[in-house]
Homo-oligomer: A and B are copies of this chain.
Amino acid sequence: MSTPSIETADKVRALGREILPAVPGSQAIYAGQHEQEPYAGISLTRDARYGPHERNRLDVFAAGGAAGKRPIFVFVHGGGFVMGDKHQPGSPYLDNIALWAARHGMVGINITYRLAPEFKFPSGAEDLAAAVTWARERASDFGGDPDRIFVMGTSAGAVHVADFIAHPQFAAARAGVKGAILLSGVYDLTLSSAPPNEAYYGDDRSNAAAMSSLPGLLASLVRLQFVVTEYDPVMFERQAQRVLEAWSERHGQWPDFIRLMGHNHLTSTFHLNTDDDYLGVQMLRFMATA
């Protein structure tokens, strides 16, 4: 079974489209399907420091025994710029994402980063750039390939990934980055439906266009995969629609784009590394051609 069953999709639908009230229910739906620590056959390095701030920490997951250089997969959590973490102790999340990467022959890295309101745009992308640089420089320690790096983020994490891909100050840090997977992000801050997120962007919206990643994404040589879920809040649909329109206009056809049926803003990541491998298969297809 590689897509949510009718029964599971009904449970997700019953949680509605609002994000925070759906967290416990979304965690519960997939909780029983996840691996428990210690993870069999996985070499796990917790809380390696990739920068000076207390939140500049990352976890590295690598399966033992595999020969050769493995792609490096870096995941960036969500949390509205003001909360979230790579790992909730005692919970399978978000270890499940880096584990999914390790179980598919990659070095999986989950990062934590600095938060608003103390740290503002583009601090998230700066931290991702530092984490990718850290991973590239230490790739051989983990059997990783510094020339084959993928980055993925969800929600605010997708914004950080998009900013890292789009803005010119991160060009050097993008060395070896072959692809980016963007789940339910905001890429055009000028849309009226885009949330203000003053904590991260400040009160001055006059530079909304300059802070938006969309123009840079459209011109990017790094390959991109976009995902929005069936039960995402509507403003994420508007962002996806904007991407489809702009990408069509620029490139003549849609980008790699998935509407993930039977999932919400949270289960899109919580279900990874379970029997539901629909998104996983699309991600592997994307990475194989990137």
Contact of A241 among B3, B244, B284 (CB under 8 A): B244
- Number of A residues whose C-beta is below 8 Å from B? 30
Q: A234-B253, A253-B234, A259-B258 are in contact. Are A281 and B5 (CB under 8 A)?
A: yes
Is there an interface contact between B6 and A288, defined as CB atoms closer than 8 Å?
A: yes
- Identical subunits present: 2
Contacting residues of chain A (25-42) with chain B, CB-CB under 8 angstroms: none
Instruction: Looking at the assembled complex, report how far the CB atom of A271 sits from the nearest CB atom of chain B, in whole angstroms.
Output: 14
Q: Is A53 close to B, CB under 8 A?
A: no
Q: Is A92 close to B, CB under 8 A?
A: no
Instruction: Looking at the assembled complex, report how far the CB atom of A3 sits from the nearest CB atom of chain B, in whole angstroms.
Output: 5
Chain A 227-245 per-residue mask, 1 if CB under 8 angstroms from chain B, else 0? 0000000100110010011
How distant is the Cα of A250 from the Cα of B284 in the complex, in angstroms? Answer: 36
How distant is the Cα of A203 from the Cα of B41 in the complex, in angstroms? Answer: 67
Contacting residues of chain A (244-261) with chain B, CB-CB under 8 angstroms: 244-245, 248, 252-254, 257-259, 261
Is there an interface contact between A261 and B282, defined as CB atoms closer than 8 Å?
A: yes
Chain B residue numbers with a CB within 8 Å of A288 are 6
Closest residue of chain B to A257 (Cβ to Cβ) is B259
Chain B residue numbers with a CB within 8 Å of A238 are 248
How distant is the Cα of A288 from the Cα of B284 in the complex, in angstroms? Answer: 32
Contact of A281 among B3, B237, B248, B284 (CB under 8 A): B3
Instruction: Looking at the assembled complex, report how far the CB atom of A7 sits from the nearest CB atom of chain B, in whole angstroms.
Output: 10
Contact of A1 among B2, B9, B285 (CB under 8 A): B2
> Of A237, A245, A278, A281, which is in contact with the most chain B CB atoms at under 10 Å from its CB?
A281
Contact of A248 among B1, B5, B237, B277 (CB under 8 A): B237
Q: A1-B2, A6-B284 are in contact. Are A237 and B254 (CB under 8 A)?
A: yes
Closest residue of chain B to A1 (Cβ to Cβ) is B2
Contacting residues of chain A (195-254) with chain B, CB-CB under 8 angstroms: 234, 237-238, 241, 244-245, 248, 252-254
How distant is the Cα of A281 from the Cα of B259 in the complex, in angstroms? Answer: 15
Closest residue of chain B to A254 (Cβ to Cβ) is B237
How distant is the Cα of A241 from the Cα of B241 in the complex, in angstroms? Answer: 8
Q: Is A262 close to B, CB under 8 A?
A: yes
How distant is the Cα of A244 from the Cα of B259 in the complex, in angstroms? Answer: 12
Is there an interface contact between B262 and A285, defined as CB atoms closer than 8 Å?
A: yes
How distant is the Cα of A83 from the Cα of B273 in the complex, in angstroms? Answer: 45
Q: Which residues of A contact B (CB under 8 A)?
A: 1-6, 9-10, 234, 237-238, 241, 244-245, 248, 252-254, 257-259, 261-262, 277-278, 281-282, 284-285, 288
Counting from the closest, the 3 A-B pairs by CB-CB distance are: A2-B2, A234-B253, A3-B278
